[in-house]
Every structure is written in C-alpha cells, then in structure tokens.
Amino acid sequence: MTESLGRRERGLLAAIAAALLVALIWLRGGLHPAAPLDALARRSLDLPVALTNGRPTLVEFYADWCEACRAMAPAMAELERQQQGQLDVVLLNVDNPRWQNELERFDVNGIPQLELFDRSGSAIGRAVGARSAAELQALGTALIDGAPLPTLAGVGTVSALDANQALTAAANPGTMASPRSHG
C-alpha cells in the first residue's frame, strides 16, 4: 500500500511540475520568444509609410549581434509603447540586404544609428551611438513637440541641402570640404 501511495505522490508531483513548465513557457512567450530587436522590427511600419503618415519618425539602424543595439532594445520598446500613435519607431537591420538603399541613403557606417524625421517626413537629425532610456525619451519628446533636438553627445541636426545644391557641390569639390578630405 505504501508503494502505491508513493507512485501517486510522484505522479501528482510530475503533473504539477509539467503544469508549471507549461505556464512558464506560456508566460515567457513560447519556446523561442523573439529577441526584443526582432520583435520591434517586426512591429515597425514600413519606412515610406512612417515618413508619410503625419507622425514624427525615429529610425534605428541596428544588427542582432550589436551589443549596444541589444542594450538599447528595452528602452526603444518602452519609447514605442509610451508614444504609440504619436511617434513611429522603425528598425532596419543592417544585415538585411533589403535595406541596402537606406544604408547608402543615410550613410550608415556605424550602429546603432538613429535617423530623426519631423511630421512631414523631413530628416532633421541623426544620433550615432548607444542611447540611454532618458536620451531616447528626450529625442522622442522633441520630435513629438516639434522642438529642437536635445544637446547630447553624438546627436546633430541635418542640413536642408536640396538635390540641386548637392549636385552643384559634388560637381565643384573645391568649394566644399569633404569629410574624407584630410589635405
């Protein structure tokens, strides 16, 4: 009789353990929950949609292997959650060939790189390097309010150089210093 009672207890414990395991897996989002960066990227609007919908946009160029990008992911997710409907957060993976044109267009040569756009979809600034949650909130608030970007290391405004001026400058390289000219 004691042996059958031991089997029942072991069976009950095994059932409880299995139920707890299933509950834990369910609460954590499944067996293979998406990384925060991947989850954010999957929720992102397409860039052309984000730039034309009348909301300011923050674009992050990232990579899954980038430690700084992964460290920023929870703060980016929180910014997206808090500013939903007021600010578009778009993530573009630099390892995805789909974004090659954007990498060239925005001269991405380091990550994380944030591109900042006003409500009309005009580029107004860039932030290079890791950002804290407070810095991301400050950038998001400035974009939403249409205020000047906060003064932070690695953050700068983008000039309003139109296409004709860019072609003229390119045709006359002696008139303007290039970032690659170290003469």
Instruction: Let me know if 69 is a catalytic residue.
Output: yes
Where helices occur in 28-99 by DSSP H, the ranges are 36-43, 47-50, 67-82
Out of 47, 66, 116, 127, the active site residue is 66
Strand segments (E) across 81-164 = 88-93, 113-117, 123-128, 155-157
Instruction: Let me know if 66 is a catalytic residue.
Output: yes
Out of 37, 69, 89, 116, the active site residue is 69
Please choose, from the candidates 112, 145, 141, 146, the residue with its C-alpha nearest in 3D space to the C-alpha of residue 126.
Answer: 112
Q: Could you tell me the end-to-end alpha-carbon distance of the chain, in angstroms, rounded to an integer?
A: 94
Which token pair is 144?
């939403």
Please choose, from the candidates 51, 147, 119, 34, the residue with its C-alpha nearest in 3D space to the C-alpha of residue 90.
Answer: 51
Cα-Cα-Cα-Cα torsion 156, 140, 93, 43, nearest 10 degrees, comes to: -160
**Dihedral sign, Cα of residue 139, residue 141, residue 145, residue 150:** negative
Which token pair is 23?
């509950």
User: Alpha-carbon distance 111 to 127, whole Å?
Assistant: 10
Active site residues: 66, 69
